[in-house]
Amino acid sequence: MGDSRKLLIVDDDEVTRKLLLEVFSRQKYTVLTASSAAEAIELVRMQAPSVVLSDIRMADSLVVDSCSVGLAGGDGISLLKQIKSFDSNVVVILMTGFGSMDGALEALQFGAFDYISKPFKIDDVRNLVSRGFQHRDALVSDSQRSKVLAEAPQMKPGVLIGKSAKSVELYKAIARAALSEANVLILGESGTGKIQAAKTIHENSFRKNSKAVRWLIPEGELRQIEEWDVVKVQAKDSTLFLEEVNRLMPAAQARIMSSLSESRELGLKLRLICTSNEELEPRVKDGTFREDFYYFINVIKMSIPPLRERLEDLPDLVGHFLALASERNQKLVSHVSDEAFRIFRRYQWPGNVRELEKTMESVVAMARAQIIYPEDLPTELLKNSNNPSHVVNAAMMEAVGPSAVVESPSLEDMEKGHILRVLQDVGFNKSKAAEVLGIDRATLYRKASRYGIDLKNK
């Protein structure tokens, strides 16, 4: 009988590999390590690990065809595919510093158990690996799970932007919803991107070849019922976006449920993806929203965080909208100055991503140079970013930082500490330090620069 607690760590960074080996060796796992995709697949074949924790970006990746396995530059997705083709019950967790919609969709599409973005907390990756082993136990007794993954539709990325922890969790929720046929309820303030999330779910679902219908629900009970009778015919057997479902009156809710029940009796299966800019549970409690309709639409529920709660995504969002606005206005605007960006960070963005997009459009249109300076920003933005409460919030964020509430060190903290200890042990001899760390001098210099380590001595 094989070792069911065997973990394989795959990363081409020697220091990262050793640190993860140290972390997981302290627990109840038998830990194997590989520095390349080729070495990893050989260990999967010979050692049969239950869980594989692999970097998604490596110097080599596997090229898979029906006859052979070769090597080529690329990412760890090809390694994931080959592992799954060899043994679909191996649980694969991918880690990357490039959190994106594309990565989340691809990873889940090809059978990854989960996906974690660097930098991550050690406790988070420990818990994820533990859940991976629990999932492995379930897979062994349920071989049909891999068949469902293999038959999943080809996924494609949307245009959701950001790689913060909250964004990556949203990408994974969207990817899982796309693999389902259940009704979806998407919550979020106005301007957060609820309809874009709904479109991404549809465009990556089994229904992607049929046109989705978007219905912005009007005011007034009679008008809602009249429009519903038209919209349901247009949507037929596809996906219907019910935009701002919180506007629906109880009689209209009852009419929709009755119509869909009749349609399903005729073999039609219309899928609802609903959005709301308010929580619906309080409405259910006060009787203004039907409880049966709430549970009918709330099979899969996800919330899109407001922009002020994911300011880590601002650089990516600003860069994205800056490029779009520059192309649209046929102007060469390269970037936002540090001073202007600090104002962006202090602003609360009540209109969320939609407001940011419109702001960048305005700023680029009025820009006098290739760089955006504070004087190029709208008066409203300057006025509200100087509000004392906003400044205090921003100052606290910059002073405290996201790591202040972290109870366990991140992998990067451990790596920096490990490099410093080795340098001190060898008297800051860079050649010896690189040898002990298992990296070349160029990599040592790169990591020292990244972590602010003075290689001269101190």
Judged by DSSP in three states, 240 sits in strand
Q: Quote the pTM value.
A: 0.60
Q: Which of 106, 44, 105 is nearest to 75 (CA)?
A: 106
Is there a single domain that holds both residue 17 and residue 130?
Answer: yes
In a domain? residue 161: no
Which DSSP helix (H) or strand (E) runs through 174?
Answer: helix 165-178
Residue 138's pLDDT is 64
68 and 111: one domain?
yes
Within this chain, do residues 393 and 316 fall inside the same structural domain, yes or no? yes
Q: Would you write out the chain's pLDDT as a tens digit for each of its 458 residues? A: 456 789 999 998 888 888 899 899 988 899 999 998 989 999 999 999 999 999 887 765 444 443 334 433 346 788 999 999 999 889 999 887 655 555 666 777 788 888 888 778 888 889 889 888 877 876 665 444 334 334 434 434 445 788 888 988 899 999 999 999 999 999 999 999 999 999 999 999 989 899 999 999 999 999 999 999 999 888 888 999 999 999 999 999 999 999 888 877 666 788 999 999 999 999 999 999 999 999 999 999 999 999 999 999 999 999 999 999 999 988 878 788 888 899 999 999 999 999 999 999 999 998 877 778 888 899 888 888 754 434 334 433 443 344 333 356 777 777 888 888 888 878 888 888 887 777 877 788 878 877 778 887 65
Residues 104 and 118 in one domain: yes
Distance CA 67, CA 69 (A): 7
* Domain assignment of residue 164, yes or no: no
Residue 158 lies in a domain: no
**Domain count across the chain:** 4
> Of 135, 150, 165, which residue is a domain's last?
150
Residue 128 lies in a domain: yes
Pair of tokens at residue 6: 């065997």
Domain containing residue 229: 180-300
Pairing between β-strand 30-34 and β-strand 114-117 as defined by DSSP bridges: unpaired
Same domain? 144 vs 218: no
Residues 98 and 117 in one domain: yes
Both 134 and 189 in a single domain? no
Q: How far apart are CA 382 and CA 423, in angstroms?
A: 47
Q: Give the pLDDT of residue 453.
A: 83
pLDDT for residue 398 = 41
62 and 93 fall within a common domain: yes
In a domain, 174, yes or no: no
359 within domain boundaries = yes
How high is the pLDDT of residue 335?
Answer: 83
Q: Are residues 131 and 60 in the same domain?
A: yes
